[in-house]
Amino acid sequence: MHARVETAASWPEEIFAILQRFEVCQVPYVPDAGHSQLIESVLSSSTMRGIALTTEEEGVALLAGAWAGGQRGVLLMQSSGVGNCINMLSLTQIFRFPFLTLVTMRGEWGEFNPWQVPMGSSTQAVFELAGVKVLRASRPDEVREVVEAGASQAYNACTPTAVLLSQRLIGAKVFTK
Partner 1 sequence: MSKANLLDRRAVVSRLLKDRKGAIAVGGLGASTYDIAAAGDHDRNFYLWGGMGGAVMIGLGLALAQPTLPVVVITGDGEMLMGMGSLATVGLQKPANLSIIVLDNEAYGETGGQVSHTAASADLVGVAKACGVLDSRAISTMSEVEAFAASLHDVRGGPRFANVKIDGANLERVLSSRDGAYIVNRIRGSLGHTPI
Which one of 2-10, 94-102, 116-124, 163-171 is the stretch in contact with partner 1 (CB under 8 A)?
94-102
How far is CA 165 from its chain centroid?
Answer: 8
d(CA 17, CA 80): 26
Q: Which is nearer to partner 1, 53 or 137 (CB)?
A: 53
How many chain residues bind partner 1 (CB under 8 A)? 36
47 binds partner 1 (CB under 8 A): no
67 binds partner 1 (CB under 8 A): yes
d(CA 145, CA 110): 25
Q: Least Å distance between CB 4 and partner 1?
A: 25
73 binds partner 1 (CB under 8 A): yes
Q: Which of 52, 123, 33, 135 is nearest to 12 (CA)?
A: 33
43 binds partner 1 (CB under 8 A): no
Residue 89, CA distances (Å) to 8, 95, 120, 135, 143 in order:
32, 10, 18, 17, 24
d(CA 164, CA 123): 9
Q: Least Å distance between CB 43 and partner 1?
A: 12
Interface positions with partner 1 (CB under 8 A):
25-26, 49, 51-55, 57-71, 73, 87-88, 90-91, 94-98, 156-158
